[in-house]
Amino acid sequence: MASIDMSLKGKIILITGGASGIGLALTQQCHNLGARILVADLRTTSDFDKFASGKDNILFVQSDVTRWSDFTKMFDACEQKWNDVPDFYGICAGLFEPPFSNFWQDTEEESYKQVEVNVSHPIKLTRMAMKKSLGRGKRASVCIIASIAGIAGNIAAPLYCATKHAVIGFVKSLKDTEPITGVKVTSICPGLVNTPLFTADKQKQFSFAESKALTPDGVASHMIDLLQKREYSCGTMMQLSMTGPQLIPEWGIPAPVGEGTGQELDMQVMMKAMVAPIEEKLNTERGSASKL
């Protein structure tokens, strides 16, 4: 079973995290292409509400992707609305070292929520997409948002980097599965993107500059290419920076270049900014007798 071109027009796409950021941009572009869109997110946003108002081809389902029972809720809503299961999946929901799930802050006692959202959610939803598509005898295409952080590492975001490395390893592992599942799985690895994940504190810590950041629209348009075009076969991983897209080979890749990758910045200044909150936190954990 070879990879095929798949058009979004008239088809169903399930987008997690589809009410803001890259997910919202994907929602908007898929609507413009004539798709039926099931948006799964914790809550809507004013931008989403404004765009989705009066559009019968957009269905919102309040969902928490760390609760696997909510995946069943998404599929049930899809079948009730359109008597079918999705043809496409844009897996966009993610966390970027939030205060409540952060390696250096380390407030969690049972599990890292960031791992649940960034790793368990795309893996479980991809497996469910396979089951649902096989059950209907149809093809499907899945695109998962990873990150350039899944290629390298970052002292200020080790948990986030670990989750994105996991996504890349997952997608690489599925490169030969489309002939047996009928489901194509790809991933996009953008550099800095101007989304709500970059809160004011993170903009300072990570030397964020809007002029050097990708737009959600730009990332979404490349996701649509990955979803629709057979030239991007199962297992494709696309790195995206301000200089354009680059496909990531299975074995190694040169360090990313260009604005928005972090490679063009003054490393001494950038490192000082990234490490400052970490040192502040560690100082609160040092005992009075510590010689570190």
Percent pLDDT > 90 in the chain is: 75
Residue 292 has pLDDT above 70, yes or no: no
- Which pair of structure tokens corresponds to residue 262? 């972090």
What is the mean pLDDT of the segment spanning 122-141? 95
* CATH number of domain containing 125: 3.40.50.720
Q: Are strands 88-91 and 58-62 parallel, antiparallel or unpaired?
A: unpaired
Percent pLDDT > 70 in the chain is: 93
What is the mean pLDDT of the segment spanning 242-246? 92
Instruction: Choose the weakest-confidence range: 54-63, 98-107, 236-245, 271-280.
Output: 271-280
Whether this model's pTM surpasses 0.75: yes
What is the mean pLDDT of the segment spanning 213-230? 97
Within-domain flag for 290: no
Within-domain flag for 36: yes
Within-domain flag for 2: no
Domain count, the chain: 1
What is the mean pLDDT of the segment spanning 70-96? 97
Of 218, 89, 70, nearest to 144 by C-alpha is 89
Within-domain flag for 160: yes
Q: What is the band of 199 on the pLDDT scale with cuts at 50, 70, 90?
A: confident
Instruction: Choose the weakest-confidence range: 16-25, 254-263, 268-277.
Output: 254-263
What is the mean pLDDT of the segment spanning 73-86? 98
Residue 261 confidence (pLDDT) = 67
Task: Between 264 and 45, name the one with better pLDDT.
Answer: 45
Within-domain flag for 181: yes
Rounded to the nearest 10 degrees, the angle between the axes of helix 158-173 and helix 121-136 is 30
Q: What is the mean pLDDT of the chain?
A: 92
Contacts of 211 (CB under 8 A, 6+ apart): 259
Q: What is the band of 262 on the pLDDT scale with cuts at 50, 70, 90?
A: low
What is the mean pLDDT of the segment spanning 155-160? 94
Residue 267 has pLDDT above 90, yes or no: no
Give me the domain span that covers residue 257.
12-285
Within-domain flag for 84: yes
Within-domain flag for 4: no
Which one of 18-22, 176-180, 201-205 scores highest in mean pLDDT?
A: 18-22
Residue 254 confidence (pLDDT) = 73
Within-domain flag for 5: no
Residue 265 confidence (pLDDT) = 62
Name 244's bridge partners: 241
Residue 149 has pLDDT above 80, yes or no: yes
